[in-house]
Amino acid sequence: MEFYEFLAHLTHQRRLSAHTVTAYRGDLRQFGEYCERVYDIRRAGEVSREIVKSWLAELVGEQLAASSIRRKLSALKAFYLYRVTRGLQSTNPTQRIPTPKLGRRLPVTIPREDLKRLFAAFPDPEDNEDVSLLQDHVMLALLYQTGLRRSELIGLRDGDIDLGRRQLRIRGKGDKERIVPFGTGMALLLDRMLLLRGGAAPLFQTERGGALYPKYVYNRVVRYLSGVTAEEKKSPHVLRHSFATHLTEGGADLNAVKELLGHASLAATQVYTHNNLERLREVYRQAHPEGDGKK
């Protein structure tokens, strides 16, 4: 098929990278070979919507990942849009063909045992005179024990802490405030850090006394998690995922988890029920007379 002119357009007019153009070329060539092999069609203008749909069906039948199918269809749609807008043909066979939906990625979490080892490695707060180390302890503990987003952690100020009631006032997305409780251990940690560090408006600071920034928090979290877990993905948000997952596994009401996380809708929180369901399936498999574990 006549792909050369379109690929040249991507290279010289749109100035896409050589890697991207190569990906387009490979996907379009695959489609051209399919049309020739199955329908004996060699010209782009002879392709119908049904042919495009049958090609997608073949890709699905080959169990190709939805992300790969999306990319291939995107390349084909771009090619035919180019042809139509330049008057090379009047109809677009890719029009109104839906793009396959990607499966929702499950949140990565850190196992409870790994997190216990993480926090056990820190010195007892009452004996810790190192303000920087104590601050790292507090940051990691807050991320896991309250489910804060990284930006929310950075934005915390002394006035957001109520040690008496053991709760935080958090400014989340859209400047929406929420109250999140914390335990006695967290209260002792915060009290010790505030005592050693003295008064300051932002709760956390860099070693030089400046305000925290996203990369600083990310690097700190990755450094500590790398010492206790083999999980490939490590980030502040993984600790937030762990907070929510461990709550649901412990039987927490989903609406309560939604409020603690500051989600706008329950749909965003429901993803955390998956691991809990997997645990229940395993219990059923092992314990029920008709479970697979008994056979």
Nearest to 192 by CA among 121, 122, 129, 116: 129
> Could you list the active site residues?
149, 173, 237, 240, 263, 272
User: Cα separation of 240 and 6, whole Å?
Assistant: 45
User: Cα separation of 11 and 21, whole Å?
Assistant: 7
User: Cα separation of 217 and 223, whole Å?
Assistant: 10
User: Distances in Å between the alpha carbon of 188 and those of 57, 112, 191, 202?
Assistant: 60, 22, 5, 19
Q: Which residues contact 241 (CB under 8 A, 6 or more apart)?
A: 107, 108, 109, 272
Instruction: Work out the angle at residue 82's Cα, subtended by the Cα atoms of residues 79 and 84, and round it to the nearest 5 degrees.
Output: 110
Nearest to 197 by CA among 122, 128, 151, 143: 128
- Count the Cβ atoms, other than its own, within 10 Å of residue 66: 14
